[in-house]
Every structure is written in C-alpha cells, then in structure tokens.
Structure 1
Amino acid sequence: MSFYTSLSGLKASQTDLSTISNNVSNAGSVGFKRSRAVFGDLFAASPTQSTKTVAGQGVRLNGITQQFAQGTLESTGKTLDVAIAGEGFFVVRGQPPRSDVSFTRNGVFGLNSNREVIDTLGSKVQLLPVDANGNITSTAIGSMLDFQVPAFDPANPTAVLANISIANSGLVTATFANGNTLNLGSMAMASFTNNEGLRPIGDAHWQATGDSGNPQINGAGQGPMGEVRSGLLERANVDLTEELVSLIGAQRNFQANAQAIETANTLTQTIINLQV
C-alpha cells in the first residue's frame, strides 16, 4: 500500500512542478495569469472499520486553477497597445468561417491588410456601437462590430487619418487632417461570474464554459469591467521569488516521496530474504 501512496505523491509533485515551471516560463508573457495546482487527500474505509486504524491512501489532483489577479502595467507608448485596469476581458472574434468569440487580456493589437485591428492570434478586436456623443447604443453580442481604422474621413475622402485615440472609457476616436473627428465605437468588454471556470486556449485567451457562465458584455468602467489604458500592456502576474520558493517545496516533496518508495522497497526486500 505504501508504494501506491507514495506513487500518488510523486505524481502530485510532478504536476506541481509542471504547473510552477509553466508559471516561471511565462513570466514575460503579456497578460498571462499564473496557475496553481490544488490537491486533496484520498481516504477510504468500510462501514465496519474504525477510522482510527486506517491510514490515508495518498493524494489526488483536484484541479489546476488560474489566478486572475491584476498584473503590472508597463508603458509602451503605442496607441494600439491596450491594457485593462480591472477584471474585464477584451472581446475578439476569429477569422471566418468559424468566427468564434474568445476573450483576452493580451492587448498587443495591430493592423492587418484590411486595416482591421487584430490581436496576436489574428482575431479581430470587437467594438460596441456608439452614437455621435460616444454613448453605447447596444451591448448585445450580435451588435458588436469589427474594430476597423479608416484611412480617410468618410465625409471628405481627401482628408487622411491623422490620429487614433482610445479613452479610458474605451471610446475609440479617429481624428483626420481636416480636424474632423469620428467615434468608431467603444471597446467591447466582458466579465464572468466565475473567471476560474474559463477555458484557456493559449496566448492569454480564454473561451466561456458552463462553469464560467455566459459573458456579460458592456463598455469599460461598467461594473467590474475596469478601465482601458492605451499605450500600456499588462505583464504576467507571476512573482518569480514566490514561484522559486514553491519550486523548492515541490522538489522536496518529490524527493521525500521517492525516498518513501525506496524505504518500502528495502523493507519488502528484507522480508523476502528472511530465512526460517
């Protein structure tokens, strides 16, 4: 029995080491959220047994949960580098034919050949429609529109684009050489009842699941969404000092379980070699 108990400990320590290693390796990834392995003990006894005479039977992995604490904001000076100061997520839509919606904290955005604003996976950043005063007119998922940067003033094709600005409220405004301005929309933001229930798909992107609940779509500054900060990026919320200490602890746990297996093996060998 001690073999299997210690073996479960070895597997748990290996999972813990893998989780910590992933955190450390992504310390420089934009928008990355650290993970933590959660374990629980194994115990079994028959109804007629006294639990005072039954030892535990090892450990099992309950799950690996992501920690959505705020990361440090770092200045880049680029307008389309955007960070969130709060709990929200940017909403992006994949390329056709799937056009699947996902949610990200990675605000490294840029332009494609169609002047659409895309993220690092090539998904198109979504905006909510606004009126002439910049007020959001709809928060329905079906009303979202692609973030597209115009090259010219729609009212005067001879006036080229001079500047794009993104306010803390998420309002995106284009300014043209003739002085005219145009509100393109407000950056679509999403929040969830249970962030830990989101399904990670890589590059600080997630998809909604039954555990996370349906996304609540709104503009920045509404409820838990947080504010949008243009010219900044959110760094990974990984504390290397804390991770290295945890790494040492996981390594010691692995060594202790390996030693327990070795000790059990020695005892078993001694019993087998006993001579009557």
Structure 2
Amino acid sequence: MSFGIGLSGLNAARQDLDVISNNIANSNTVGFKSSRTEFADLYASSVGGSASKGTGVQLANTAQQFSQGDRINTENSLDMMITGNGYFVVDQNGEKSFTRAGYFALDAEKNVVNNQGLNLQGYAADASGNILPGTLADLKISQSELPATATTNVTGAANLDSRNTVPSVGTFNPSDPNSYNSTMAFNVYDSQGNPHTLSMYFVKDSTPNQWTVNFQFDNATINNAGGTPIGSQTIAFNSSGQLLSGGTFSIPVPEATNASLVGVADMTMNLDLGSFSQLGSDFTVNKATQDGFPPGQLTGLEVSKDGVLKALYSNGQNAVQGQIVLASFPNDNGLIPSGDSLWSASFSSGSPLFGSAGKGSMGNLQSAALEQSNVDLSRELVRLIEAQRNYQANAKTIETSSSLTQTLMQII
C-alpha cells in the first residue's frame, strides 16, 4: 500500500508544481488571476472495521484567486482597468466571454476590440448621445466627421464703466473709436461651419444708466430679410449698476441680405447680456461664449470611470458613442478559464449579471491603465521549493518501500 500512497503523493506534488509553474509563467500576463491547489486526504475502511487507514492524497480543487492586481499606466485611452468587481464582456459570433485583461483598440471598421479581435460589449448611444440601456451591442465609434452646428445662442458678461461720458462723435461709426465707448466680439459659425465675427459696440447715452448696443456682422451692418439695417438695441441699468432691461434679444442674419453669408442657412442668434453690469471700474469682459462650432475630425477617445465612451474631435467637441458594460457572477470560482485571458460562464458560476461600472457591486473603470497579474512571484518561488521538497519526500517513500520489499524477497 505504501507504493500507492507514495505515488498519490508524487501525483499531488506534480499537480502542485504544474499550478505554481503556470502562475510563474503568467506573472506578467495582464488580467491573469493566480490559482492554488487544494488537496484532500484519502482513507480506506472495511466493513465492520474499527479504524480507517490512510491511502494517500488527491487533488480536491484548483481554486482561482480573484484579488486585485496592481495598476500599470499606459498612454492608450482604450487600455482599461477594472478597480473592484466585474469583468469586461467580449463577443465572437454571438458567444460571450469575460475577461479582466483591458487591452482594447479600434479595428479597421472602428469597432472596439480586444487583442484577440473580440468585440467589446456595451450599451449603444443614439444620435443625441443618449445611452440606450437594456441590450448589449458591439461598441463602435462613428467614422463620420462631427458636422458643423450653427450658432444659435450667444452669452456675454461684462462691466460697462459708469464713469464713461457720452462719445464726442454723435453718429456711430465702427471705424471711429470716438463714436463708441467699448467693444467686444464673438466668433460665431454658420450652418456649414464657416467662422464669422459678431461685434458689439457700446455707446453711453445721454439718458442716465442707459447704453446703446450697435451690432456688426463681419464688419458690416446686419440687414433684416427686407434689407433694412438692424442698427442697435438699448440696455438700461438701475442705480446700483444692475441690468434693468434689454438683456436678451434675437439677432436675425438672413443669408439673402447679408453678403458674408453665401449658400448657407439663415442665422438667428439669441443674445443674452443678462450678466452685464455698470459699475465705476474699467470695462472688463468676463464671459463671451456661443454654441456653434465648425466640423471636426476624430482625434481621440475618452472613457469615464462609469464606462461612458466619448469620441473627441478637432473642433474641441465630444460625442457619446456608448457605455461599456461589466458583468459579475454569484460565484467567481465557478468560471471556467478558456485561454487568451478569457473565462466562460458555467452552472457553478451562475448566470452573469450585467451593469454599468460604479453601480451596485460593479467596480469603476480607469482609462489608460491595465491590471497587472495578481501573481506574487516571491510567494510562488517559495511554494515552488516546497512542492519540490514534497515531491522528493514522496519519492523517498517509494524508494524506502522498494528497499523493504527487496529485503523481504531476500529473506524468502
């Protein structure tokens, strides 16, 4: 029986060495989770026997260790690391697999794929950037340039110097600084993304706390649809310098009657000067914003900690492309390793639960980072020595048993 016991010990030690060797071999494999061997003793008993005899050892389980790996920083925004619970979901021909290895990039069709070419799964987004939860889909980046958007809203904030006097030149002339007190300008865009300049010239009136705002579009007078110049608007302040009236108005710029607009849609800009003030200090522009922009080319990608994937464009805009979905399981140890840093679900693992990062039990995502293998190389080397000694000891058991058998044979 000692031969069998020793042989079971050799087999157990060999299996232990196999697992340790695999851990060491994958110590630099991104997203790899180490394993450990769990053994159980063997006993034999006879009917009516009063005592059981040990018959060796067997491998009870190879348990994966799902502790967090260290962070590796990268320069690729599609390299991703899960901090906490969860797995990336990838798909090949309708078959879902799960991984902690966050190597992702764009293929020729702008699909987000891992280094095996499997499609990363998530929630798609509509044309307005709204996430469409519920159904998993291949995440894909739009190949089209971001179209231009015409300016419709213009917001300005400034202080008009109450110490100013009425200009010496009574008739406004944008070429004559003596005909106005202050000026500010906005870069605005038409429906094709062509840039234009909307200028405002502020003229202090003889009426206390009142100013006239004169408009110019590309250094020319703005004409309405009938060809009549749109000259000015009046704004008024109270005795404390706060805006009293005239803070909001619309400026139509028809294409047909304004020479700098050619072949584009008519423009109408809603101007908000509600944050203007009139105080006894120098003219200061605090804010000058507008909501139009030219067309843009894709320049990069951005992933937020909750997995929202945005495309970044050369015009400074961004557009939501979708949201990365993570999966979790009732029993991680029930997952079946399938190679290429992938796992498959099993009856033991339970069905996957899908959700966005940072919600419920799901961990957060970190962009431009990868999760290193959780293998502790120093510990594995110590285990390797222990397994080697265990193997040698069991071999010695067989050798000793063999010697005893030879002695017995010599007596006979």
Name stretches of at least 5 consecutive residues in structure 1 with no aligned partner. Answer: none
TM-align CA RMSD: 1.8
Counterpart CA distance in 1 for 2:48 and 2:14 is 36
Matched ranges for 1:29-44 at <5 A: 29-44=29-44
Pairwise CA distance, 1:138: 2.1
Counterpart CA distance in 1 for 2:111 and 2:126 is 21
Task: Indicate if the aligned counterparts of 1:115 and 1:148 stay in contact, CA closer than 8 A.
Answer: yes
Matched ranges for 1:72-91 at <5 A: 72-91=70-89
Q: Secondary structure of the equivalent of 1:56?
A: strand
Is 2:102 aligned against 1:110?
no
Counterpart CA distance in 1 for 2:132 and 2:382 is 50
* Counterpart residue identity of residue 122, structure 2: L
Q: Secondary structure of the equivalent of 1:184?
A: strand
Task: Indicate if the aligned counterparts of 1:128 and 1:219 stay in contact, CA closer than 8 A.
Answer: no
Q: Which of the two has greater strand per residue? A: 2
Pairwise CA distance, 1:206: 0.5
Residue of structure 2 in register with 1:64 after alignment:
62
Matched ranges for 1:116-195 at <5 A: 116-130=111-125, 136-139=131-134, 143-153=135-145, 155-156=147-148, 158-195=295-332
Residue of structure 1 in register with 2:245 after alignment:
none
Pairwise CA distance, 1:180: 3.3
TM-score (norm 2): 0.62
Percent identity among equivalent residues? 43
Task: Indicate if the aligned counterparts of 2:146 and 2:297 stay in contact, CA closer than 8 A.
Answer: no
* Counterpart residue identity of residue 162, structure 1: T
Per-residue CA deviation, residues 110-138 of structure 1 (Å, 9 max, x unaligned), is 12111111112110111213578977542
Per-residue CA deviation, residues 202-237 of structure 1 (Å, 9 max, x unaligned), is 122101110000000000011222000000000000
Pairwise CA distance, 1:47: 3.6
Task: Indicate if the aligned counterparts of 2:31 and 2:100 stay in contact, CA closer than 8 A.
Answer: yes
Counterpart CA distance in 1 for 2:128 and 2:17 is 53
Q: Secondary structure of the equivalent of 1:268?
A: helix
Is 2:230 aligned against 1:238?
no
Counterpart CA distance in 2 for 1:75 and 1:192 is 27
Counterpart CA distance in 2 for 1:273 and 1:216 is 68
Q: Which moved more, 1:190-199 or 1:173-182?
A: 173-182
Per-residue CA deviation, residues 160-207 of structure 1 (Å, 9 max, x unaligned), is 112210001111111222333211111010000000100111122101
Counterpart CA distance in 2 for 1:154 and 1:213 is 43
Q: Which moved more, 1:8-17 or 1:60-69?
A: 60-69
Counterpart CA distance in 1 for 2:129 and 2:68 is 28
Q: Could you say if the C-alpha distance between residues 114 and 136 of structure 1 is closer, same or farther in structure 2, counting changes exceeding 3 Å?
A: closer
Counterpart CA distance in 2 for 1:216 and 1:38 is 28
Per-residue CA deviation, residues 227-267 of structure 1 (Å, 9 max, x unaligned), is 00000000000001100111111111100000000000000
Counterpart CA distance in 2 for 1:144 and 1:12 is 43
Q: Which of the two has greater helix per residue? A: 1
Counterpart CA distance in 2 for 1:134 and 1:23 is 43
Is 2:257 aligned against 1:259?
no
Task: Indicate if the aligned counterparts of 2:129 and 2:319 stay in contact, CA closer than 8 A.
Answer: no
Task: Indicate if the aligned counterparts of 1:134 and 1:171 stay in contact, CA closer than 8 A.
Answer: no
Residue of structure 1 in register with 2:3 after alignment:
3
Paired residues, what number?
Answer: 267
Q: Which moved more, 1:221-230 or 1:146-155?
A: 146-155
Match of 2:91 among 90, 93, 99: 93
* Counterpart residue identity of residue 28, structure 2: G
Q: Could you say if the C-alpha distance between residues 264 and 135 of structure 1 is closer, same or farther in structure 2, counting changes exceeding 3 Å?
A: farther
Task: Indicate if the aligned counterparts of 1:79 and 1:164 stay in contact, CA closer than 8 A.
Answer: yes
* Counterpart residue identity of residue 197, structure 1: G
Per-residue CA deviation, residues 147-167 of structure 1 (Å, 9 max, x unaligned), is 212233354595211221000
* Counterpart residue identity of residue 111, structure 1: L
Q: Secondary structure of the equivalent of 1:152?
A: coil
